[in-house]
Homo-oligomer: A and B are copies of this chain.
Amino acid sequence: QSNVTIYGVADAYVGFGKHGENDLRGVNSGALSGSRLGFRGTEDLGNGLKAVFVLEQGINIDEGSGSGYQRQAFVGLGGSFGTVALGRQYAPGYFFQYDGLGGAAVGPQSILSNYAGLTITPNTPARWNNSVTYTGTFSGLTARAIYSAQGVEVDENPSDDDAYGFGLDYSNGPLKVSGVYQVAKYDFAAAPNDEKQKEWGLGASYNFGVVALSASYQSGDNVQGVKDRDADLWTVGLAVPVGAAGSIHLAYAEVEFDRPAGASDTEVKSYTLAYTHALSKRTTAYVAFNRTDNDNAETAGLVGYGHKAGSTFGGENSDLLGVGIRHTF
């Protein structure tokens, strides 16, 4: 028992939302951080070596659903050289969080990167099956690399859906800078959907004390293997401390879609205004508002598709107001 640490997040909020003619009202899970339950451990092997493991399950606390350890599941060996691990793991792009909200689900970079089909995102597309990772930190510089076989298939070409990525984070006092590059192969599909999805991102943040500023730019080509389906996303964010325990967060992001010839190019804008209040180091109360402004027929947003017969949602705003609590354990 002493070999295992149990940890997790219980984050739930009451949400009021609207997307076109449709309304949402209810309790949802994880506006600030995905609810989860995890088991992890570290064993000192001597000679500077250690063994590590993580099993981390995502949970929808509003319905009590959750199964498997699909947030993270790995075992690895670490040392002064870094850590090498095997399992379902984060691609470097998961840690690319420059929206002033720490990659919160209610933040615009999370909403738009996920909607755009990008793997540089604080969401499930950054969790890769059957992967080998390397992570090493050397005086403020963290290097990350991943190679994923995705499915473990047995055929002529088991590597035709593989993916790989690299990331560098530099952290020095108030400054943080990151660069990420990720590639996902779609060699198993037929043209024009068999192109490599290539993504890169650059982000930076600086904490001036009275305000922390952050910004990022990311670009994806041939998204989901479709030739010339491109997405460019930029984000700016700020966080302002209010009193000893409060913080105001404002984040804005835009994504521009370049579609293959014949389809029109479109844009989605999203912004989030939030106030978080630390009730303790582990527990935060929050209120957050997100508006996602859809161009043309786009349907992005936290509220999601509607079900009203005959209504269309393309181009309609998605608005969500959430009041909730995040407890980490």
Contacts and interface: CB of A to CB of B under 8 A. Distances in A.
B25 A159 contact: yes
Contact of A132 (B14, B21, B155, B305): B14
A183 interface: no
A242 interface: no
Contacts of A23: 154-158
A306 interface: yes
B27 A152 contact: yes
Interface majority SS on A: helix, strand, loop or mixed?
strand
B325 A75 contact: yes
A75 B61 contact: yes
A21 B308 contact: no
Closest 4 CB pairs of A and B: A26-B149, A64-B73, A10-B75, A26-B152
A144 to B, nearest CB: 17
A22 B22 CA distance: 50
B283 A43 contact: yes
B59 A64 contact: no
Contacts of A49: 279
Given A87-B64, A279-B49, A22 B156 contact: yes
Contact of A329 (B4, B37, B74): B4
A194 to B, nearest CB: 17
A86 B22 contact: no
Contacts of A68: 59, 63-67
A12 interface: yes
A64 B35 CA distance: 16
Contacts of A55: 8, 10, 37, 59, 61, 64
Nearest to A75: B10
Nearest to A2: B1
B51 A279 contact: yes
Given A23-B155, A152-B62, A3 B51 contact: no
A88 B27 CA distance: 9
A125 B155 CA distance: 27
Contacts of A159: 25
Q: Among A15, A25, A27, A149, which residue has the most Cβ atoms of chain B within 10 A?
A: A27
A280 B66 contact: no
A314 interface: no
A14 to B, nearest CB: 6
A130 B67 contact: no
A62 to B, nearest CB: 5
